Amino acid sequence: MAAEAAGSLRDRSRQPGPGERRRRPGDGARLATVAYGVIAAVLVVFQLVVLARRQWVSDSWIHLGTVAEVVARPLDPREPLTGEAVDFPYYSPWAMVLGWTARLTSVGPGVVLAVAGTISTVLFLLALYALVRRLTRQVWAPVIALLTLLLVHGTQQFFWSGFVSLNTFSVGSTWPWVPAAAGWFWLWRCTLPPPPPVSPLPPHPSPSSAETAPAVTTTDSTTVSPTPARRPRTPWAFLVLPGLVLLVHPFTFAIAALSCAVTALATRPWSWTWRVGLLSLVSVCLTLLWPWQALSGLLGDPAGFDGYHAFFYRATMAKVGLCLLAVPALVTRSVRLRGRDPLTWCFVAGWVVFGAGWAIGLESLARVLPLSEVSAALALAVTLTARARVLRYGLRLVTVAALLAGSLGQLPALTRLVTTEDGAPPARMLVAPYPRLDVLWRHARPDDVVISNNPIVAREFSSHRLRAVAPQWPSPGVADAATRIADQRAMLARGTTTARRAALLDRYDVRWIVWRGRTVPAWLGDSTSVVERGRDDTILLRVDRPAT
């Protein structure tokens, strides 16, 4: 036994032959770090190209409108959708700082938002790297984790705030979920216990030392040296980050709270857990001091978002089913750690909360699913780089298959790099291009009230500080939102009498109507006049009011 061990160690320390280059101990680590940096740089450059094309879509408009409102009213911003003086949950520290920065530098809100999105992505990538290295000392694990997070989700094409995928990054890199996710990863990293230090290989081992030295291994089969136990340090980041993440993106806060709680219960002593829990509670309570958001309005009524989140309960496996390919890795980790693997429990917790949302009819709980997806990606990365050869080779096949299948769902993100001759994205793409409203921007002034027969068009109004009758996104502060929605429908309905339409237009002080269509219906022409025809079948109408 001793002779075999000594021979093995001699083989490792043999001198390179002629023509062979000595392999330095840090070569693999440097190569892995460079590989991670290259992939991260490609992602950042990809986002910069997309942002340079100004292809704003979906939630980008509401965040742009929020920043624009802070620029105009830095200390007393109004609700940007309707212009009402009510609370609005998007006035987070992230949005306020961006608005103040744009005002102080005289840089446009769109430019500031794009720069902030790039910085947030860099912070996200750094936090992910730190999280993975907290789980394992295997240097290639962060590379695999980043690839699986970007690609391994499902075969259906979709993007959603908080879901870490290439599609979401291509559309929502300027959304607040990115800095919030960076905060989540850092909190999760602080919750995980550090891996044991790796013991250096002795330069001249002796047979006796090889025979008598104790073998200590971690869950990823890394040889470690015994170290004296010491009291875990309290991470003071929990005094700041939980409340900050809550203000910036409440759904990501829910994921972060669940992941940290599950991890602490599985891996940390009670003395550490209650200290960190107390710090987190203080951090959350401090959010009450933030003057531009009310905590009740921030949390709002989750049922108000259920109409949006029911999307995840239809064809769920097509959207996120590929993360189930990590189940063998999760089971292996759970067995090795005797049921105390935090990734396994976080994976299960995400699916349990998702199922509870379906059972009780609260579809907003589907937003916790990223916890299961991220846990699966991390488990694949850690297990794939472990030294258990049989399991590693099997997982290689699984991971390659998952990456190929997941790429089918993420390929539409690349269409964001392609435009046609007129500057519009191609027809078959991740998200349809939003209509160009240059005709409206030329005539309307800030605080003018505008309505449209196309809800996609209406989402752009707040980006130029134009007001809508009905909020295009859930806005808990607008108490009469249901009435506003009904009144707006009546203004644009064929069956509404001319007198009622004129009264509603006057009640809300509507000045402009953006009509999507080739012609203006005759029943609408009684109270409006055509100002200009734009591209994308857009017609700008001015609301005519009788002279007083």
Same domain, 179 and 260: yes
- Round to whole Å and give the CA distance between 413 and 71: 31
Among residues 425, 451, 483, which one ends one of the domains? 425
Q: pLDDT tens across 17-75, in order?
A: 554 455 555 567 889 899 999 999 999 998 898 888 777 777 889 999 999 999 999 99
Same domain, 389 and 262: yes
Upper half-sphere CA count for residue 75 (Cβ side, 13 Å)? 0
Same domain, 474 and 390: no
Which one is predicted more confidently, 27 or 271? Answer: 271
**205-224 mean pLDDT:** 43
Residue 264 located in a structural domain:
yes
pTM value?
Answer: 0.84
Give 1's pLDDT tier (boundaries 50, 70, 90).
very low
Residue 361 located in a structural domain:
yes
**Residue 427 pLDDT exceeds 50:** no
Most confident of 170-174, 244-248, 327-331, 434-438: 244-248
Same domain, 471 and 332: no
Q: pLDDT tens across 464-493, in order?
A: 999 999 998 888 888 898 999 999 999 999
Same domain, 251 and 378: yes
First to last CA, the chain: 105
Q: pLDDT tens across 85-135, in order?
A: 888 889 999 999 999 999 999 999 999 999 999 999 999 999 999 999 999
Q: pLDDT tens across 247-261, in order?
A: 999 999 999 999 999
- Listed in sequence order, the residues at least 6 apart from 253 whose beta carbon sits closer than 8 Å to its beta carbon are 180, 184, 242, 245, 246
| Structural domains in the chain (count) | 2
Residue 152 located in a structural domain:
yes
Among residues 401, 425, 449, which one ends one of the domains? 425
Q: What DSSP character marks residue 180?
A: H
Residue 225 located in a structural domain:
no
- Round to whole Å and give the CA distance between 319 and 382: 24
Same domain, 418 and 454: no
DSSP H helix total and E strand total for the chain: 24, 4
Same domain, 392 and 539: no
- What does the block give as tokens for 284? 């959350």
Q: What is the pLDDT of residue 11?
A: 43
Same domain, 481 and 527: yes
Give 296's pLDDT tier (boundaries 50, 70, 90).
low
**Residue 290 pLDDT exceeds 70:** yes
Same domain, 411 and 527: no
**Residue 7 pLDDT exceeds 60:** no
Same domain, 417 and 470: no
**274-301 mean pLDDT:** 83
Residue 334 located in a structural domain:
yes
Among residues 390, 425, 460, which one ends one of the domains? 425
Same domain, 417 and 505: no
Give 441's pLDDT tier (boundaries 50, 70, 90).
confident
Residue 3 located in a structural domain:
no
522: left (phi over 0), alpha (psi -120 to 50) or beta: alpha
* Nearest C-alpha neighbor of 44 from the set 159, 146, 186, 144: 146
> What is the helix (H) or strand (E) element at residue 66, kind and residue range?
helix 60-72
Which one is predicted more confidently, 210 or 372? Answer: 372
* Nearest C-alpha neighbor of 129 from the set 155, 158, 149, 103: 149
* DSSP codes of every residue in 96-149: HHHHHHHHHHT--HHHHHHHHHHHHHHHHHHHHHHHHHHH---TTHHHHHHHHH
Residue 494 located in a structural domain:
yes
Q: What is the pLDDT of residue 152?
A: 86
Q: What is the pLDDT of residue 2?
A: 46
Q: pLDDT tens across 318-349, in order?
A: 888 888 888 988 998 999 888 899 999 999 99
**347-371 mean pLDDT:** 94
Q: What is the pLDDT of residue 393?
A: 58
**Residue 532 pLDDT exceeds 90:** no
* Nearest C-alpha neighbor of 178 from the set 110, 102, 126, 236: 126
Give the range among 15-19, 141-145, 274-278, 336-340 with minimum mean pLDDT: 15-19
Same domain, 412 and 469: no
CA dihedral for 476, 364, 116, 45, sign (positive or negative): negative
- Round to whole Å and give the CA distance between 358 and 353: 9
- Check: CB of residue 383 under 8 Å from CB of residue 395: yes
- Round to whole Å and give the CA distance between 502 and 496: 10
- Check: CB of residue 425 under 8 Å from CB of residue 433: yes
Residue 86 located in a structural domain:
no
Q: What is the pLDDT of residue 394?
A: 61
Q: What is the pLDDT of residue 27?
A: 61
- Round to whole Å and give the CA distance between 14 and 5: 14
- Listed in sequence order, the residues at least 6 apart from 210 whose beta carbon sits closer than 8 Å to its beta carbon are 2, 5, 6, 9
Q: Spell 130-169 as b/e; 16+ CB within 10 A means b.
A: bbbbbbbbbbbbbbbbbbbbbbbbbbebbbbbbbbbbbbb
Amino acid at 106: S
**Residue 206 pLDDT exceeds 70:** no
Q: pLDDT tens across 374-425, in order?
A: 999 999 889 888 765 545 556 666 666 666 666 666 666 666 565 544 444 4
- Residue numbers of the domain that contains 462: 438-543
**Residue 218 pLDDT exceeds 80:** no
Q: How far is CA 326 from CA 63, 333, 499, in A?
A: 35, 11, 63
